[in-house]
Copies of this chain bind each other. A is one copy, B any other.
Amino acid sequence: MGVMGVPMSVLIKDAWVVTQNTRREIIKADVYIEDNLITEIGKINVEADYVFKEKNMIVIPGLINTHTHIPMTDLRGLADDVDLEKFLEKMWKLEGQRSRDDFRIGAEMGIKEMLRTGTTTFVDMYSDEDVVAEVAKKMGMRAFLGWAVVDEDITTQEGNPLSNAEKFITAYQNEDLITPLIAPHGVYTCSEETLLKAKEIAERYDTLMTMHVSETRKEVYEHRRKTGKRPVEFLNDIGFLSFRLIAVHLVWLTLNEIRMLAKNGVKVSHNPTSNMKLGNGGSMPLPELVKENVPVTLGTDSAVTNNNLDMFEVMKFAALLHKNERWDASITTAQQIFDMATVVAADALGLKAGRIVENHLADVVIVNGAEPNAQPLRKDTIISNLVYSLNGLNVMATIVNGRIVYDMGNYPET
């Protein structure tokens, strides 16, 4: 294997390349990576610092996980089989006792799992994102890190969450792999004032925002009781909705609210596995969001509500949840779902990635097509296999920004 995390030229020989280009071509080809870019695809005869030449390789764009809480990974399995309310109660108690060292341990565990399972970029929401930033940089992971903000009178952080977020953004705004953003937690933890101040910070520093929105019926109906408005209506009316926002969950939406999201250019992170596990009921109205051209991406949510960080599994849950919900097997297709985890997410984050195309970022995953669950290996069923049959442990190697960060059991040192 190559030297972990070190810049070098990489050549992948004779693989099925799932390009995700505009024609969604799948071709048998070599892929050449230099510095942090995919520089050539085709029949390539050059020397490279490191060559992948196993048989039955499938090369795909690195998967993009648009919602998690990575420092919680070491809490996996500690709050199963309870609803969101009881979950939050349990978690906030547990998390109150945790230190920045614990967050670092959780983040290392989570980033390791994401690299192992073919995720090359993630969007996080947590306090102390500076800890996550240091781990992500060290492990070579591309990270969009949203400093969580709640009202000052309910925070357990030291200092004011808004100014902490601002401090984090200014400290990390010129990093290569790290993109800082601000993450108001939800309408039940952030006042109108907090939300608008958060938006102001996002505008001042030209960052994205991410926020939990309309995850449960309880959230929606309590907010309506308090304000007379459903959460998205409320966020629309106070002027919070924006192209900067990645709104997470959106399980309980009206068509009117979907049009508000569309009009304001809001992006969505769909977390089907977590929603199902928490018994939120219903399901995010994917077909209606797609019809109104709202970009829908995929997220795992934390390892406590999922309970893994495997984007392959999320793709399958996303596809099957809606087929089941609508009594219609054709309501989702494998290609549509694979797009959500690659091109749609890359575009939503403003990344020149999500595709195996020349001059795009070398965020590249090599999948082992020799495992029985990938057989038979036929060009016309590769997308089907990626979404419906394979899982993250089929990944042989993960390359982020041109650096090999996972290769057959080996990870960068932490």
The chain A residues found within 8 Å of chain B, CB to CB, are 74, 76-78, 80-83, 87, 109, 112-113, 116-117, 217, 273, 275-283, 303, 306-310, 313, 316-317, 319-321, 323-324, 326-334, 371-373, 375-376, 378, 380-381, 384-385, 388-394
B279 and A78 contacting across the interface, CB-CB below 8 Å:
no
| Chain B residues, Cβ within 8 Å of A116 | 371-373
> What B residues does A381 contact at CB under 8 A?
76-78
Cβ-defined contact, B307 with A277, below 8 A: no
**For residue A395, which residue of chain B has the nearest CB?**
B393
Q: Which of B112, B303, B394 contacts A389 (CB 8 A)?
A: B303
Contact B279 A373 (CB under 8 A): no
A384 to B273, CA, bound (A): 15
Are B373 and A81 in contact, with the CB atoms below 8 A?
no
Distance from A106 Cβ to chain B, minimum over Cβ atoms (Å): 10
Cβ-neighbour of A281 out of B77, B327, B375, B385 (below 8 A): B327
Q: Is the CB of A389 within 8 A of B329?
A: no
Q: Are B385 and A77 in contact, with the CB atoms below 8 A?
A: yes
Name the CB-closest residue of B to A115: B372
CA distance A329 to B309 in the complex (A): 20
A372 touches B112 (CB 8 A): yes
Q: Which of B74, B324, B380, B390 touches A276 (beta carbons < 8 Å)? A: B324
Q: Determine if B281 and A389 form an interchain contact, defined as CB atoms under 8 angstroms apart.
A: no
Known contacts A81-B333, A324-B275, A373-B117, A307 near B393 by CB under 8 Å: no
Nearest B residue (CB) for A370: B409
* Beyond known contacts A117-B373, A279-B326: 15 more, CB 8 A cutoff: A74-B376, A77-B380, A77-B389, A80-B384, A83-B329, A113-B373, A113-B375, A116-B373, A277-B323, A280-B327, A303-B389, A307-B385, A373-B392, A373-B393, A393-B393
Interface centre among A329, A331, A390, by most chain B C-beta atoms within 10 angstroms, is: A329
- The residue that A384 contacts in the complex, of B307, B332, B375, with Cβ under 8 A, is B307
In this complex, what residue of B is CB-closest to A116? Answer: B372
Most-contacted residue by chain B among A77, A78, A331, A381 (CB, 10 A)? A77
C-alpha gap A191/B321 in the complex (Å)? 34
CB within 8 Å for A323 and B276 given contacts A113-B372, A313-B313 = yes
A278 near B323 with CB under 8 A, answer yes
Which B residues touch A392, using CB under 8 A?
A: 373, 391
Complex contacts, A81 vs chain B, CB 8 Å: 323, 329-330, 332-334
Report A265 CB to chain B, min CB distance, Å: 29
Query: Which of B77, B309, B329, B385 makes the CB contact (< 8 A) with A277?
Result: B329
Please, how many angstroms separate the alpha-carbon atoms of A240 and B394 in the complex?
44
Alpha-carbon gap, A283 to B323, bound state (A): 12
A76-B332 in contact (CB<8A)? no
Chain B residues with CB under 8 Å of A117's CB are 372-373
